[in-house]
Amino acid sequence: MDELAAAVIHDVKNQLAELALRLERRGDCAGETDIAFAAARRLTGLLLVQRQQAGTLRLNVDSGCPGDLLQELAAEYRALFPALDISLETEAAPAFWFYDAALLRLALGNAIHNACRHARAAVRLRAQEQDGQLEFGITDDGPGFPQEMLAQELRAAPMPASRHGTGLGLYLAARIAELHQNGGNSGNTELRNGQGAIFLLRLP
Amino acid sequence: MTVVNQFSSKRVLVIDDQAGMRTQLQMSLTHSGFEKLHVVASIKEALSLMNNGHYDIILCDYFLGEGTNGQQFLEYLRNRDLISRNTIFIMITAESSYESVVTAAECAPDDYLLKPFTAEQLNNRLGKLLERQSCFAAIDKAADAKDWERVAAQCDEVIAVRDKFFIEASKIKGEALLKSGHAPEAAALYTEMLALRPLPWAKLGLARALALNGSKDQAAALARELVAEHDHYMGAYDFLGGVLAETGDKEAALEILQSARQVSPGTLNRVRHVAELAVDTGRHDVAEQIMTEALAKHKYSPVREAQDYAILSKAINEQGKPEKALAVLKEAKQSFSDEASSVLLTTSEIAAHRKAGNNELAEAALSQALAAHHGDLPPSVVAAVADACFALGKEQQATDLLKQLVQNNPDDTAAQEKVHTVLTAAGKGEAEATAMIAASVQEIIQLNNEGVRKAEAGELNEAVSLLCDAADRLPNNLQIVGNAALALALDLARSGYTSIKMHECTRLRQLVAAKSPDYPKLAQIDAVLKKVSQE
């Protein structure tokens, strides 16, 4: 992606954000506000992918509280999807862990957004410490990920457009997880199907 | 519609140059229940509001139009202790500036909000930050009082719980240990942190602890490693530049800080540091260029200081352009009218007048600078005046000023270093300079002891005259000023009330109380004064 394209994306993103803010101020068009916010955030994701591919996406790791992070995200998405039952499971989460909170919030936020869009009635957010790693799990009760997405393993480039979107968010989440490294281990993401779709993000 | 909740009583200040954003934040915050809300467009307005009261939360956009940004504003507030440590400072940034914000330096905001954000997100984040605010209240209070021992002790209470605030409490404790000079304890704490996770701030902390312990080469090596690993961590560059300059390698320090400026031009603080190093190493062209650029960028900003113009004029003058140097100072005088700035700028004119061959004007400027009350001026300004005295061959006045400077700042090692620099620049040897400083320190200790002895022996007139005389010259030496007030109080208690003595005693007592409200001698003075008014 060249610099001109990046600059235009940046501008459009800001315009969308401005539009979202104006809609929010009107107070009578929550649905439209969400669309504009979501669009602005997708472009933010695109800009981050561009930086990741250029090798200039850097982490700023410090301590954070995984339980608080999920609680924050849950409150945010409950407001966006009031019909869904978004529950938390953080009893087995460590009190603190080390990550780039801003990037992780984007990565998880995107996965939660996906889950909320495809869930029938419920989305469950989970954080726990397992085998020396911090694992976030986002589970919905929808139809699950399509087979071609499970096969892709999120390794290569963003996948072609499907009814799940462009896969940009999942791609970015995988890269953000991988950037987190500790003692020779790096983070990863995994997609599974159970009762619905299961998104896992692990940090060393 | 508003709700009464945990937010209602909190005082909030919002700074954003964009009207749309201001409206959005105002609406979101009002909706969340905030009732004491001030919204402004510029840091000038923010500063004038902050003069009138304390804020619990400050929300500041990173971009504030042309010139000074939110990070520079925060650094300005922290360097001058204009906000409590307990005030929550939130930086609002776009994803494009997020990185330059998070890597800025040790002067970090309490949290970042990435644009765009919803009212819900803001609300949640504020809730979490208020939880932190109440958990750290005692620690922050001790930090505001610069009582580092108490900060460390309070941190231990949070650390013992090992909850989500464990790392942050450890980080603050490390800072407190460094500030109170406990290098080995700080090194142990940072080593423990590094075993948990190789975080850049912990590595920098360890380097600082090593430097504090005298192992400056080891500290520099560690900082170099850190710069190589995290080339965007600006605090590492600033520290490395500082430690190299202290070990006498100013060229290497300049090189490091210049490379930092390649990564991020940084705040005016770094520019100042670089410009001073450039002047010290004879790179006057570099100093002129970066200072001119920085001042043009901050033209109407309160983050500028008279010292910035003094450095710039020096850099220009040393390149043989005295007229231009004088023009810079003249422009600066329009912005800075307080006494310290005026004296500094007038003193800076001296070198330019001399370079231009106008010795009479140089003499006149020096007389003007010498007419000030030097006891009330910051050490750097007094050192500059003394330096000018040496340049014009007024050795006696120069050494008198430096002696006063040392005696007026008894616990300030940085001030002593300045004196040392001025003396050696004037051709004194290292040993001679050190001896002169030591003699000045010794002299004032003896004078104080003599005053106390006379007071204890009942020779109150002599004690009062000795100590009050010294207190006039050294209003910043709390021991002298405190003892002068005490001697006056004892005299009043013994010889009876006179309004002149009482007025002077109260004035001196206030001088101490204003600088150090917990100064132990205050209680003693008050106890004696109580007896006076009762009679």
How many Cα atoms occupy the beta-carbon half-sphere of B491 within 13 Å? 26
| pLDDT for position B509 | 95
Contacts of B30 in chain A (CB under 8 A): none
In this complex, do B24 and A25 lie within 8 Å of one another by their Cβ atoms?
yes
Question: Percent of chain B having pLDDT more than 70?
Answer: 96
In this complex, do B99 and A58 lie within 8 Å of one another by their Cβ atoms?
yes
The token pair at B316 is 């220009």
In this complex, do A95 and B232 lie within 8 Å of one another by their Cβ atoms?
no
| pLDDT for position B310 | 95
The Cα A50–Cα A1 span in angstroms is 7
Q: What average pLDDT does the segment A75-92 reach?
A: 92
Least confident of A8-22, A97-111, B385-399: A8-22
The confidence band for B1, taking pLDDT boundaries of 50, 70 and 90, is very low
* Burial per residue of A167-202, b for 16 or more beta-carbon CB atoms within 10 angstroms, e otherwise: bbbbbbbbbbbebbebeeeebbbbbeeeebbbbbbb
Q: What average pLDDT does the segment B245-256 reach?
A: 89
In this complex, do B199 and A10 lie within 8 Å of one another by their Cβ atoms?
no
The CA-based angle A88-A91-A92, given to 5 degrees, is 115
The Cα A68–Cα A95 span in angstroms is 9
Q: What average pLDDT does the segment A151-179 reach?
A: 70
Q: What average pLDDT does the segment B282-294 reach?
A: 93
CA dihedral A17, A20, A22, A23 (to 10 degrees): 170
Report ipTM (2 d.p.). 0.85
Which chain B residues have any C-beta within 8 angstroms of a chain A C-beta?
20-21, 23-24, 27, 94-96, 98-99, 102-103, 112, 114-116, 118-121, 123-125, 128, 162-164, 166-168, 196-197, 199, 201, 232
| pLDDT beyond 90 at B319 | yes
How many Cα atoms occupy the beta-carbon half-sphere of B124 within 13 Å? 19
| DSSP secondary structure string for all residues of B412-474 | -HHHHHHHHHHHHHTT--HHHHHHHHHHHHHHHHHHHHHHHHHHHTT-HHHHHHHHHHHHHH-
CA neighbor of B257 nearest in space, from B248, B295, B266:
B266
In this complex, do A58 and B232 lie within 8 Å of one another by their Cβ atoms?
yes
The 10s digit of each residue's pLDDT in B391-440 is: 999 999 999 999 999 999 988 888 998 999 999 999 999 999 999 999 99
The confidence band for B98, taking pLDDT boundaries of 50, 70 and 90, is low
CA neighbor of A109 nearest in space, from A37, A13, A22, A11:
A37
For residue B89, report the phi and psi dihedrals to the nearest 5 degrees: -110, 115
Work out the minimum CA distance from A17 to partner chain B, whole angstroms: 6
The 10s digit of each residue's pLDDT in B6-52 is: 788 899 999 998 888 888 888 888 888 888 999 999 888 999 999 88
Contacts of A69 in chain B (CB under 8 A): none
In this complex, do A72 and B121 lie within 8 Å of one another by their Cβ atoms?
yes
Least confident of A17-21, A158-162, B310-314, B452-456: A158-162
| pLDDT beyond 80 at B96 | no
Contacts of B99 in chain A (CB under 8 A): 58, 60
Selected for mutation to probe chain B from A13, A63, A72, A113 (highest B CB count within 10 Å) is A63
In this complex, do A37 and B116 lie within 8 Å of one another by their Cβ atoms?
yes
Q: Which residue of A has its CA nearest to B166?
A: A96
| pLDDT for position A161 | 47
Give the list of residues 6+ apart from residue B283 with CB closer than 8 angstroms, or none.
B254
Q: Which residues pair with A192 in a beta bridge?
A: A198
The Cα B101–Cα B257 span in angstroms is 18
The Cα B234–Cα B261 span in angstroms is 9
Q: What average pLDDT does the segment B252-278 reach?
A: 86
| pLDDT beyond 90 at B330 | yes
Q: Which residue of B has its CA nearest to A63?
A: B167
| pLDDT beyond 60 at B113 | yes
Of A10, A65, A67, which is closest to B96 when you measure between CB atoms? A10
| pLDDT for position B2 | 45
| pLDDT for position B426 | 93
Least confident of B149-158, B263-272, B306-315, B363-372: B263-272
The confidence band for B535, taking pLDDT boundaries of 50, 70 and 90, is low
Question: Percent of chain B having pLDDT more than 90?
Answer: 65
The confidence band for A79, taking pLDDT boundaries of 50, 70 and 90, is confident
Work out the minimum CA distance from B432 to partner chain A, whole angstroms: 49
* Reduced 3-state DSSP string for B241-279: HHHHHHCCCHHHHHHHHHHHHHHCCCCHHHHHHHHHHHH
Q: How far apart are the first and last CA of chain A?
A: 31
Q: Which residues pair with A135 in a beta bridge?
A: A128, A202
Q: What is the DSSP letter of A160?
A: P
In this complex, do A60 and B164 lie within 8 Å of one another by their Cβ atoms?
no
Across chain B, mean pLDDT equals 90
In this complex, do A47 and B95 lie within 8 Å of one another by their Cβ atoms?
yes
| pLDDT for position B105 | 58
The 10s digit of each residue's pLDDT in B465-497 is: 999 999 999 999 999 999 999 999 999 999 888
Least confident of B70-84, B164-178, B392-406: B70-84
Residue B60's identity, in one-letter code, is: C
For residue B521, report the phi and psi dihedrals to the nearest 5 degrees: -65, -20
Q: Are B132 and B57 in contact (CB under 8 A)?
A: no
